Structure 1
Amino acid sequence: MPIEPPTPPSAAANAMRVLVIRHGAFGDLVQASGALRDIREHHAGAHLSLLVAPQYAPLMRRCPYVDATIEDPRAPLLDPRRSLGLLRRLRAQRFDRVYDLQGSDRTRLYRLMLARPGVPWSRNDNPGDGPTPDRLAYAELLARAGVPAAHAATPQVRWMAGDVSALLATAGVAPGYVALIPGSAARHPHKRWPHYAELARRLAARGIEAVVAPGPDELELARTLPCRTLLGPHGEPLDWFRLAGVLDRAAFVIGNDTGPTHLAAALGRPGLALFGPHTRAQRTGILLPGFDAIEAADLQALGVDEVLARAERMGLPARA
């Protein structure tokens, strides 16, 4: 049965119109949730629209801080004719305030084409190769714009967690399980720590059940692991809301640098992320209270003993 999104705040027909731009990806939208909440609270009576990539529009329609989503297919910048329909639609909305959390070349072009006298446009200029996590850059952007940034630095996405009681009961999964996130997008195989099967066996020896809720790129990988695999009623990957529900109930989470691991951190779960040399954990914003990371020059050489020892310091029970 589909999960219905909560009803967003209502806005009068003559209300102030606010546009927030954050296309994605999944983990980036998780990181932006706190900033969205701050903007919503500052513009309590406004109509707030989010410009987002089409694949994330269903997710963000559930967000209680957003009144409407506008899908941006992000046509090639060298072919501006394909963007004219979107630009006309945005221009017709006559937004009174714009917060550009994306801060890309594309959104710079949008600003040039949509600018109206007297309409403030706050832009995130945090470079992708810089040391500052986006969530902290969002807090700085909002502070400069005069928006109290009470939540931007510590995003919380409990609104995303669906009720998975029936799912867990059907799968025979009892409380106290550890959620493993062994995959990543297929285009990022270098982010995958290769020892999750051994980790699952070691957890089982302690009497701790491990579960995995694989995405579309991780179904084959999940079948190789000695743990419980959680899927939908027809064998399909869980949607974002049920995935969040599974993570929200986990006693502990161990995962790669991928969107669901960032989701677990923003849900406030205790956990540990495993990073190779591709990026710094600090830059991604995943280091939240109760959530830590191991950074390894070679993920292949990162042993299960080291992961378990760090996880125990973070709250993983030694025995069930």
Structure 2
Amino acid sequence: MSNSPAANLQSAAMGTGIGPVLDRFQDVERIAVLRGGGLGDLLFAYPALSALAAAYPDASITLLGLPLHAELLRHRPGPVAEVEVLPFASGVRPGPEDGTATANFFADMRSRHFDLAVQIHGGGRNSNPFLLKLGARHTVGTRTPDAVALERTLPYIYYQNEFLRSLEVVGLAGAAPVSLEPRLIVTPEETAAGLHLTGAGTRPLLVIHPGATDPRRRWPASSFAVVAARAARDGSDVVLVGDDGDAPLAAEIVRMAQAEAASEGARIRSLAGRLSLSELTGVLSVATVVVGNDSGPRHLAQAVGTPTVGIYWVGNVINAGALGRMLHRVHLAWTTQCVECGVDVTQVGWTAERCEHDDSHVQQIQPDAVYDDVRDLTATTPLLRGR
């Protein structure tokens, strides 16, 4: 059968996917998936990884990712057999490039004789040439008009939900969805660590992650503090999480929230900068509700099945918002222009340069509205989660 795009579109008949689910490739035993980026980027790709594992049950999946991905998936049951850390390479993994290390990486990857290589890392300008150097028999992925072609490609249009984009890509390789959102297995050790670190018990537990890589996605500390204080007054334990860079912000929120709660019984504290990724996974898994900006920990909370309330700029919710509303609530800021210079902030990447201003795009979201969802989820989701 021809592998031309037209022939494959006409012959797609392997079930329903996000886009066409084309014919599977034959004799696939080794699959490489290129997905760099942060924690959230990996979780966006997780439904696609699960779909590939179901479509090719006898194949071994190698994720080409970052050390953070390897740490999260190490010894964790799931679709990925191994993680190979990417070398520093323009548009794939930012950092000081080492020609020898890169050459050694490609030599090692070509020796694996991958049958299928999947690119779900951006529009393909840099990632498609990178993928082709693996020497795989078959290649699929996304492509902007100026990117080199793979064997089967999907047009890359920026504003698309990333879960669905990744599923559409693996549909090109005959993989139909088994889940629309990530489902990450939490180990018993992680659950035990989460319970120990938070003291979670009979009281509801609200976990707050106030950080975000892009400062424009950060809700003000004062708004997080209002939510934390109200939760504490209503009888919840409140724990702030984040990395080392988030620790000062988390400490400020704790101070503000304790002052606003004005109650000796208020239990508000920070674990920011003190948790390994495995411990963070455990803490998020035992939470009653997680509140956070559009960030990796919020996506991780969703992946382990914990209800979330997300703070989103409207453009980001298109790409990264949870699909359902039973467990995941979304609060949108409809900002379209920079508050400082007025530039159109909906234009991204190749269509416009980012202005230099870091003013929050989400500051107008009201704490009362966010807490209404926290209270509702706190009351209803223990029943839905079997707790």
Partners of 1:18 and 1:170 lie apart in 2 by 38
* Structure 2 unaligned blocks of 5 or more: 1-26, 144-153, 259-267, 336-360, 381-387
Partners of 1:17 and 1:49 lie apart in 2 by 8
Aligned with residue 216 of structure 1, among 217, 227, 244: 244
Matched, 1:98 2:113: no
Bigger radius of gyration among the two: 2
Q: Kindly state the Cα deviation for residue 49 of structure 1 after the two structures are TM-superposed.
A: 1.2
Partners of 1:75 and 1:143 lie apart in 2 by 27
Q: Say whether the 8 Å CA contact 1:280–1:295 is kept in structure 2.
A: no
Do the aligned partners of residues 59 and 172 (structure 1) sit closer, same or farther apart at CA in structure 2, a change above 3 Å counting? closer
Bigger Cα displacement from structure 2, 188-197 vs 101-110: 101-110
Partners of 2:61 and 2:85 lie apart in 1 by 14
1:95 partner letter:
F
Matched, 1:306 2:306: no
What pairs up with 1:49-64 in 2 under 5 angstroms? 49-63=62-76, 64=78
Partners of 1:166 and 1:138 lie apart in 2 by 32
Do the aligned partners of residues 274 and 167 (structure 1) sit closer, same or farther apart at CA in structure 2, a change above 3 Å counting? closer
Q: Which residue of the partner structure matches residue 289 of structure 2?
A: 252
Partners of 1:252 and 1:262 lie apart in 2 by 13
Do the aligned partners of residues 55 and 250 (structure 1) sit closer, same or farther apart at CA in structure 2, a change above 3 Å counting? closer
Deviations 1:185-239 (A, max 9, x none): 3xx22222111112111111111221122212111112121412236xxxx5312
Q: Kindly state the Cα deviation for residue 161 of structure 1 after the two structures are TM-superposed.
A: 7.7
Partners of 2:190 and 2:98 lie apart in 1 by 43
Q: Say whether the 8 Å CA contact 1:124–1:138 is kept in structure 2.
A: no
Do the aligned partners of residues 132 and 200 (structure 1) sit closer, same or farther apart at CA in structure 2, a change above 3 Å counting? same
Do the aligned partners of residues 184 and 128 (structure 1) sit closer, same or farther apart at CA in structure 2, a change above 3 Å counting? farther
Q: Which residue of the partner structure matches residue 11 of structure 2?
A: none
Q: Kindly state the Cα deviation for residue 274 of structure 1 after the two structures are TM-superposed.
A: 0.6
The number of equivalent residue pairs is: 295
Q: Which residue of the partner structure matches residue 72 of structure 1?
A: 86
Q: Which residue of the partner structure matches residue 317 of structure 1?
A: 379
Partners of 2:378 and 2:89 lie apart in 1 by 45
Q: Which residue of the partner structure matches residue 139 of structure 2?
A: 121
Do the aligned partners of residues 128 and 247 (structure 1) sit closer, same or farther apart at CA in structure 2, a change above 3 Å counting? farther
Q: Kindly state the Cα deviation for residue 91 of structure 1 after the two structures are TM-superposed.
A: 1.3
1:239 partner letter:
S
Q: Residue 379 of structure 2: SS of its match in structure 1?
A: coil
Q: Residue 331 of structure 2: SS of its match in structure 1?
A: strand
Q: Residue 228 of structure 2: SS of its match in structure 1?
A: helix
TM-score of the superposed pair, with normalisation by structure 1: 0.81
Matched, 1:192 2:192: no
Q: Which residue of the partner structure matches residue 107 of structure 1?
A: 127
Matched, 1:32 2:45: yes
Q: Kindly state the Cα deviation for residue 61 of structure 1 after the two structures are TM-superposed.
A: 2.9
Matched, 1:20 2:33: yes
Q: Which residue of the partner structure matches residue 87 of structure 1?
A: 106
Q: Say whether the 8 Å CA contact 2:186–2:282 is kept in structure 1.
A: no
2:88 partner letter:
R
2:366 partner letter:
G
Provide the aligned C-alpha RMSD in A: 2.9
Aligned with residue 271 of structure 2, among 204, 226, 230: 230
Do the aligned partners of residues 55 and 122 (structure 1) sit closer, same or farther apart at CA in structure 2, a change above 3 Å counting? same
1:90 partner letter:
M
Bigger Cα displacement from structure 2, 132-141 vs 285-294: 285-294
* Structure 1 unaligned blocks of 5 or more: 1-13
Q: Residue 324 of structure 2: SS of its match in structure 1?
A: coil
Matched, 1:282 2:318: yes
1:73 partner letter:
P
1:35 partner letter:
A
Q: Residue 156 of structure 1: SS of its match in structure 2?
A: coil
Q: Say whether the 8 Å CA contact 1:50–1:70 is kept in structure 2.
A: yes
Percent identity for Structure 1 against Structure 2: 26
Q: Residue 374 of structure 2: SS of its match in structure 1?
A: helix
1:237 partner letter:
R
Q: Which residue of the partner structure matches residue 209 of structure 2?
A: 181
1:191 partner letter:
R
Do the aligned partners of residues 274 and 160 (structure 1) sit closer, same or farther apart at CA in structure 2, a change above 3 Å counting? farther
Partners of 1:285 and 1:44 lie apart in 2 by 30
Q: Which residue of the partner structure matches residue 292 of structure 1?
A: 329
Do the aligned partners of residues 147 and 137 (structure 1) sit closer, same or farther apart at CA in structure 2, a change above 3 Å counting? same
Q: Residue 133 of structure 2: SS of its match in structure 1?
A: helix
2:322 partner letter:
I
Partners of 2:188 and 2:167 lie apart in 1 by 24
Q: Which residue of the partner structure matches residue 8 of structure 2?
A: none
Matched, 1:146 2:174: yes
Q: Kindly state the Cα deviation for residue 120 of structure 1 after the two structures are TM-superposed.
A: 1.5
Partners of 1:261 and 1:141 lie apart in 2 by 24
Q: Which residue of the partner structure matches residue 7 of structure 1?
A: none
1:259 partner letter:
G
Do the aligned partners of residues 237 and 128 (structure 1) sit closer, same or farther apart at CA in structure 2, a change above 3 Å counting? farther
Partners of 1:15 and 1:121 lie apart in 2 by 12
